Amino acid sequence: MTRVGFGFDLHPLRRGRPLVLGGVTLPSEIGLDGHSDADVLCHAVGEALLGALALGDLGRHFPDTDPRYHGISSLVLLDKTMELVRARGGRLVNVDATVLAQAPRLLPHLDEMAKRLADTLGVGGDAVSVKAKSPEGLGLLGRKEGIAAMAVVSVEVT
Ligand code: MG
Q: What whole-number distance in Å separates Cα of residue 35 and Cα of residue 74?
A: 10
- What is the per-residue pLDDT across 104-128, written as a single tens digit (0 to 9) for each? 999 999 999 999 999 999 999 999 9
Q: For residue 22, how far is its CA from the centre of ligand 1 (angstroms)?
A: 12
86 has a pLDDT exceeding 90: yes
**Domain assignments of the chain as residue spans, ordered by start:** 2-157
10 Cα–ligand 1 center, Å: 6
Residue 68 confidence class, pLDDT cut points 50, 70, 90? confident
pLDDT at 129 over 90: yes
Structural element, H or E, at residue 11: strand 2-15
CA distance 24 to 6: 22
Asked whether the CA dihedral 135, 139, 144, 147 is positive or negative, the reply is: negative
Laid out side by side, the sheet with 30-32 consists of 30-32, 2-15, 146-157, 90-100, 128-133
Between the CA of 33 and the centroid of ligand 1 the distance, in Å, is 9
For residue 69, is pLDDT > 90? Answer: no
**What's the gap in Å between 12 CA and the centre of ligand 1?**
10
What CATH number should be reported for the domain whose range is 2-157?
3.30.1330.50
In this structure, what is the dihedral angle of CA atoms 13, 15, 60, 90, given to the nearest 10 degrees? 70
- With cut-offs at 50, 70 and 90, classify the pLDDT of residue 13: very high
pLDDT of 79 over the 90 cut: yes
Mean model confidence pLDDT for the chain:
96
At position 55, the amino acid (one-letter code) is L
The rounded Å distance from CA 74 to ligand 1 centre is: 9
Determine the pLDDT at residue 52. 98
Helices within the chain (DSSP H only)? 40-52, 58-61, 74-87, 110-121, 139-142
pTM: 0.97
